[in-house]
Amino acid sequence: MVLILATSLLVISLCVISHLESLRRITILCDWLNIKGRYRITISVLVAILSHTIHVWLFGLAYFFILSLEKANQIVSLDGPVSSFLDCVYFSFANYTSLGYGDLVPEGPIRFMAGTEALVGLVFIAWTASFLYLKMEQYWK
């Protein structure tokens, strides 16, 4: 359980730092390149989607790492436990977007990390929506 807590805190910290920097650098880059109006919003949306995708892959990597070390944790499908990296990323997408469990379900203490990822995804999606709203209000003319 300590490994899961430490890994969760590490991944969450990396996500917060990377998301903050992504949103901050969008503004700096658009100012530096003198990008205006709707193009600025388009770039902001694309970078935000890329940032969220990176978060999902970070959590997927964390799941893969934990599953390879601790046998008490599993992500199971109808066919049994999954162990591939892409299955972990797919599971991460379902959690991060709060899509919910369907064909892959966590078992063991790794459920804590899965629940934490859903909370992180919810907060980060709201953060991005707020950022984009402010950008649209500022530049949508």
pTM of the model: 0.90
* Cα–Cα dist 28/52, whole Å: 19
Q: Does position 91 have pLDDT exceeding 90, yes or no?
A: yes
CATH number (domain holding residue 86): 1.10.287.70
High-pLDDT (> 70) share of the chain, %: 99
What is the domain extent for residue 25?
Answer: 2-139
Q: What is the mean pLDDT of the chain?
A: 91
Question: Shortest CA distance to 66 belongs to which of 17, 118, 9, 1?
Answer: 1
Q: Does position 48 have pLDDT exceeding 80, yes or no?
A: yes
* Cα–Cα dist 106/115, whole Å: 10
Residues 31-35, mean pLDDT to the nearest whole number: 87
Q: How many domains, the chain?
A: 1
* Cα–Cα dist 34/129, whole Å: 23
Residue 88: exposure state from Cβ atoms within 10 A (0-12, 13-18, ≥19): buried
The token duo for 72 is 């008490």
Tens-place pLDDT, residues 107-120: 989 999 999 999 99
